[in-house]
Amino acid sequence: MNPPKHLYIGGKWYSGEGSERQMINPTNGCVFTEVREASKNQTGDAVRAARYAYNETTWRTDIKKRVNSLNKLADLLEEQTEQFAIAETTNTGKPIRESRLDISDSVSCLRYYANLVSNRKAWIKKMPDGTKSRVIEEPIGVCALIVPWNFPLLLGMWKIAPALAAGNTVVFKPSELTAITAIKFAELVDQCDIPPGVFNLVLGGGTPVGQALVKHPDVDKVSFTGGSDTGRKINEQCASSFKRVSLELGGKSPIIVLEDADIKAAVEWGIFGSFFNQGEVCVASSRLLIHKSIYQSFVEYFLEKLQRINVGNPLDEGTEIGPVISAGHREKIENYIEIGKSEGARLLYGGQRVGEKGYFLSPAVFTEVKQSMRIVQEEIFGPVVTIQTFRDDNEAIELANGTLYGLAAGVLSNDFERAERLASCLKAGTIWINSYHTPYVEAPWGGFKQSGIGRELGPQGLSGYTEVKHINLNNELKPVGWYK
């Protein structure tokens, strides 16, 4: 039997010449399919195909073609929402209703950037000396797009849609753990009459494939989403050649609950913020900061609600928390739970394995934590939350800002002026007031401090894939008049 062809390079399908990788369903720990990953040479082939398409096709100049292609991709993806959602749930373990959201957000992202570039106008201005200045945005060139496993297709789309809309060509590398929806997406690209080499898919891990992309001299931009340690390495590697780079990294985001907040509503937002997608979310509200005066009632209701949460098969419609991504990741989370206990925090609830098969964990809650503890400072990236108290706004701000990260934060209160004042003091890229988690494709997303460099989504997300060029035009060629 011929090996399956899962790499999409220069408009053709290839079988990977790298390692063989089993795709595991985290719900039962069983292999559901296998993929053959790319070799270093094949990764180079993908970059060359992208370079050729960038230089030799009209993709970078033909906006109409790009807009039509992105809209066609959106239509095809929308038609297959359910198939994509089932594939995403099978590969990641996320509850099916969350996978459906991922797919519909991916569709919106494609349509948003198609619409944004079709309405983009050049900036033209008459200058004081009578010349005219025009500022245009040009594509950067070949972009390497590298994403993690927690939102495999959606985080890919946050890069693919703006990069292609701006006229770049791309090489996309999903996480080695979650390749399935990326392969399905390449099948849609194949149906869209997009010039060969504009979109390329390579599969594989950080080495050799991710590294080969980052270090390739013909890659003009690396757009990376993943852990801060990997991001640091990639940033250093890109710095030596001034390769353009944007980084969407980790977080340790707080929700601040003020004393006037409705307890039931605040508890629901707290649970949603902390345990959506099993807490495997970069902006997960893994730290809840509760005003001292409502702490007792908040924790009591939090526990009551948590005990009723439905941990189970993510393909069941009623499931609220699925398994975490892998056996290794579950061990990492369990290790953090042990660290929390050994640091003297109180494990109030959860953190237990659930069921015989798969990588399930009950949602864990720590109280009696100190700001300096590792479970407060480090990203666990799983269903673990810490609850702290504060006496006044200054203390809330100090605790909220007191980590190396700065991705997101939430404030729950009916005192909007006070909530806005707090928001202005929080060092984070996204602040939700009386809400949490929803990304808006029209608004930027990204991190302060060690949570990243650059922004995705919104017009800023498009700017991340353009170089700005200023053309100054003097209508008449006259001597400078500067020399005698």
Of 413, 416, 377, 423, the closest CA to residue 293 belongs to 413
| Using rule CB under 6 A, residue 139 touches ligand NAD | no
Round to whole Å and give the CA distance between 410 and 266.
11
| Using rule CB under 6 A, residue 369 touches ligand NAD | no
Residue 205 or 402: which CB sits closer to ligand NAD? 205
| Using rule CB under 6 A, residue 402 touches ligand NAD | no
Are 457 and 451 spatial neighbours (Cβ–Cβ below 8 Å)? no
Residue 307 or 435: which CB sits closer to ligand NAD? 435
> How many CA atoms, within 13 angstroms, populate the side-chain half-sphere of residue 36?
15
- Residue from the set 84, 336, 366, 381 that interacts with ligand NAD by CB under 6 A: 381
Looking at residue 137, its amino acid is E
Round to whole Å and give the CA distance between 320 and 272.
10
Round to whole Å and give the CA distance between 176 and 174.
6
Per-residue binding string, ligand NAD, 90-129, x by CB under 6 A, is ----------------------------------------
Residue 102 or 137: which CB sits closer to ligand NAD? 102
**Cβ neighbours, 10 Å, residue 186:** 18
Of 412, 381, 155, the closest CA to residue 274 belongs to 381
Per-residue binding string, ligand NAD, 425-454, x by CB under 6 A, is ----------------------x----x--
Residue 52 burial class via C-beta count within 10 angstroms: exposed 0-12, middle 13-18, buried 19 and up: middle
- In the complex, the smallest distance separating the C-beta of residue 205 from ligand NAD, rounded to whole angstroms, is 5
| Using rule CB under 6 A, residue 225 touches ligand NAD | yes
Are 274 and 436 spatial neighbours (Cβ–Cβ below 8 Å)? no
Residue 169 or 230: which CB sits closer to ligand NAD? 230
Catalytic-residue membership of 30: no
Catalytic-residue membership of 248: yes
List the 132-139 sheet strands across, edge first: 123-126, 132-139, 466-473
Region near ligand NAD per CB under 6 A, out of 14-22, 227-235, 262-270, 389-397: 227-235
Round to whole Å and give the CA distance between 243 and 212.
14
**Cα 417 vs. chain centroid, distance in angstroms?**
31
How many helices and strands, by DSSP H and E, does the chain display? Answer: 15, 20
Per-residue binding string, ligand NAD, 261-280, x by CB under 6 A, is --------------------
For residue 333, what are the CA distances in angstroms to 246, 352, 379, 386? 28, 11, 10, 14
**Cα 265 vs. chain centroid, distance in angstroms?**
27
| Using rule CB under 6 A, residue 210 touches ligand NAD | yes
| Helix (H) / strand (E) containing 389 | strand 384-390
Beta strands 221-225; 142-146: pairing state: parallel
Residue 195 or 454: which CB sits closer to ligand NAD? 454
Residue 67 or 146: which CB sits closer to ligand NAD? 146
- Residue from the set 10, 44, 196, 206 that interacts with ligand NAD by CB under 6 A: 206
Residue 91 or 389: which CB sits closer to ligand NAD? 91
| Using rule CB under 6 A, residue 149 touches ligand NAD | yes
- In the complex, the smallest distance separating the C-beta of residue 137 from ligand NAD, rounded to whole angstroms, is 23
| Using rule CB under 6 A, residue 181 touches ligand NAD | no
Are 411 and 431 spatial neighbours (Cβ–Cβ below 8 Å)? yes
Region near ligand NAD per CB under 6 A, out of 44-52, 121-129, 230-238, 382-390: 230-238
Region near ligand NAD per CB under 6 A, out of 11-19, 123-131, 170-178, 269-277: 170-178
Of 425, 423, 436, the closest CA to residue 385 belongs to 436
Region near ligand NAD per CB under 6 A, out of 37-45, 104-112, 123-131, 221-229: 221-229
| Using rule CB under 6 A, residue 226 touches ligand NAD | yes
Round to whole Å and give the CA distance between 413 and 266.
9
| Using rule CB under 6 A, residue 214 touches ligand NAD | yes
Catalytic residue chosen out of the listed positions 143, 282, 320, 456: 282
Region near ligand NAD per CB under 6 A, out of 63-71, 76-84, 146-154, 468-476: 146-154
Residue 167 or 446: which CB sits closer to ligand NAD? 446
Round to whole Å and give the CA distance between 357 and 322.
12
The DSSP line for 296-365 is: HHHHHHHHHHHHT--BS-TTSTT-SB---S-HHHHHHHHHHHHHHHHTT-EEEE---B-SSSS--B--EE
| Using rule CB under 6 A, residue 464 touches ligand NAD | no
Catalytic residue chosen out of the listed positions 37, 98, 137, 248: 248
Total residues interacting with ligand NAD, rule: CB under 6 A? 30
- Residue from the set 73, 234, 245, 299 that interacts with ligand NAD by CB under 6 A: 234
- In the complex, the smallest distance separating the C-beta of residue 175 from ligand NAD, rounded to whole angstroms, is 4
Catalytic sites, residue numbers: 248, 282
Residues that bind ligand NAD (CB under 6 A): 146-150, 155, 173, 175-176, 205-206, 210-211, 214, 225-227, 230, 233-234, 248-251, 282, 379, 381, 407, 447, 452
